[in-house]
Amino acid sequence: MQTPWEHRYAQRTQRMKSSAIRELLKLAEQPGIISFGGGMPAPDVFPVEQFKEACIKVLNNNSAGALQYGSTEGYLPLREMIARHTSRYGITVNADNILITSGSQQALDLLGKVFINRGDRILVESPTYLGALQAWNAYGAEYVSVSFDDNGMVPESLEHALRFGPKFIYALPNFQNPTGITMSLERRTRLVELADRYGVPIIEDDPYGQLRYEGETLPAVEVIDSQFRGEQGCYSGNVIYLSTFSKILAPGIRLAWVIAPSEVIRKLVQAKQGADLNTSTFNQMVAYEVGHGGFLDEHAKLIRKVYRERRDVMLDSLSEHMPEGVRWTTPQGGLFLWVTLPEHLNSSEVLQEAVKEKVAFVPGHSFFPNGGGENTMRLNFSFSNPEMINEGIGRLGRVIKKVMQG
């Protein structure tokens, strides 16, 4: 007799679903398909030679350390490098405020483990990053969604949502995944003030901050919060800040970091011990070798150049190929833009037709924690080269016109 596994699964698995994005990534592996679906960096900008050299150096100089277990907090020189790196953006912390994680995705999961009781409400932008919802669903989170416009969270909606007593606020201020929208300075300040007034901490997820293609760099919410508190140095603010090497080096190394008050870091360390003991020591040492001599900033310039061009090509191509009634965002950075179809269209149905024409995207509906957005879609512009972007948007335009004509 076969073991009836489904009777054995814990209750929390009932809210675990395969992500629409993962399913799409499978689709995108079909030959000939142009995928605007995943959130993948362009392989063209992976610093392959730097990684090769760094691997050899690490193994020659410190194989005993690199191939051994490491501390849960993370490789100290890497944490110090991150502290130097972020201090240039006004985030002044020391290594005790930094935890290295296996991608920001693990950070989201650990935060869920540490903060969320079943039924706790989490305040999220609507739409928001799907991976956070996936991580927190397993801990029984409920979501209070805040409306979102071209400047980020709408303050009236934010204040209304804060009255529900959420455990924390999850905010994506720079080039949000999925919409590409950036929260204005005024809204960031308002967020910090309201969070303080209602006594609710903020989780700021910032994987794309360095990938700004135009406009002025805005201070992180973490920085505004520290200024608000008149803080200097030792960090004890109201914001937990996440960032990652996935978009500025390579996602395959699975390296990211959390910045938080040291007591929160200690709790996260306990949670991480139960998850994986430590993030890959070898990868951390290699990332340190690649990054510590100022390479990160150099490399970010190249990535910005390549992605800015791709964004521009996609925007031009949308103007050329999309029928009347279709709108899209113009992101100042990041990897995504957001398309809104006329109300009566359903982007999941459009996707079925689009796949027949060998072009894919993510229907926007899955990014809404409490439903909605059936007529929206997320397009990634970092992965495909300009020719593919033109071709793919051309195909998508034809599909949308066909669906609109019914």
177: contact with ligand PMP by CB under 6 A = yes
Q: What DSSP line would sit under 289-337, residue for residue?
A: HHHTTTHHHHHHHHHHHHHHHHHHHHHHHHHHHPPTT-EE---SBSSEE
Backbone angles phi, psi at 143, to 5 degrees: -120, 135
281: contact with ligand PMP by CB under 6 A = no
Residue nearest to ligand PMP (CB): 103
205: contact with ligand PMP by CB under 6 A = yes
112: contact with ligand PMP by CB under 6 A = no
Q: What distances in angstroms separate CA 36 from CA 32, 272, 312, 337, 338, one per listed residue?
A: 13, 33, 15, 10, 11
Tell me 212's DSSP state.
Answer: B
**Dihedral sign for Cα atoms in the order 85, 88, 94, 96:** negative
Nearer to ligand PMP, 129 or 241 (CB): 129
Nearer to ligand PMP, 129 or 338 (CB): 129
Q: Which tokens go with 167? A: 């455990």
41: contact with ligand PMP by CB under 6 A = no
> What x/- string results for residues 140 through 169 when contact with ligand PMP is judged by CB under 6 A?
------------------------------
Q: Given candidates 82, 144, 172, 393, which one binds ligand PMP under the rule CB under 6 A? A: 172
> What x/- string results for residues 73 through 102 when contact with ligand PMP is judged by CB under 6 A?
------------------------------
Question: Exposed, middle or buried: residue 236 (CB in 10 Å: 0-12, 13-18, 19+)?
Answer: middle
Cis bond before residue 201 (omega within 30° of 0): no
Nearer to ligand PMP, 207 or 364 (CB): 207
105: contact with ligand PMP by CB under 6 A = yes
How many Å apart are CA 335 and CA 303, to the nearest integer?
Answer: 11
Location of structure tokens 């979501």: 143
Are residues 97 and 120 in contact, defined by beta-carbon separation less than 8 angstroms?
A: no
* Footprint of ligand PMP on 342-401 (CB under 6 A): none
How many Å apart are CA 262 and CA 273, to the nearest integer?
Answer: 16
Nearest approach in angstroms of CB 200 to ligand PMP is: 20
Nearest approach in angstroms of CB 6 to ligand PMP is: 29
Q: How many residues form the binding site for ligand PMP (CB under 6 A)?
A: 14
246: contact with ligand PMP by CB under 6 A = yes
133: contact with ligand PMP by CB under 6 A = no
333: contact with ligand PMP by CB under 6 A = no
Nearer to ligand PMP, 248 or 326 (CB): 248
- Exposure string of 212-235, with b = 16+ CB inside 10 Å and e = fewer, is bbeeeebbbbbbbbbebeeeeeeb
Nearer to ligand PMP, 72 or 102 (CB): 102
Chain residues that interact with ligand PMP, rule: CB under 6 A? 39, 103-105, 129, 131, 172, 177, 205, 207, 244, 246, 251, 256
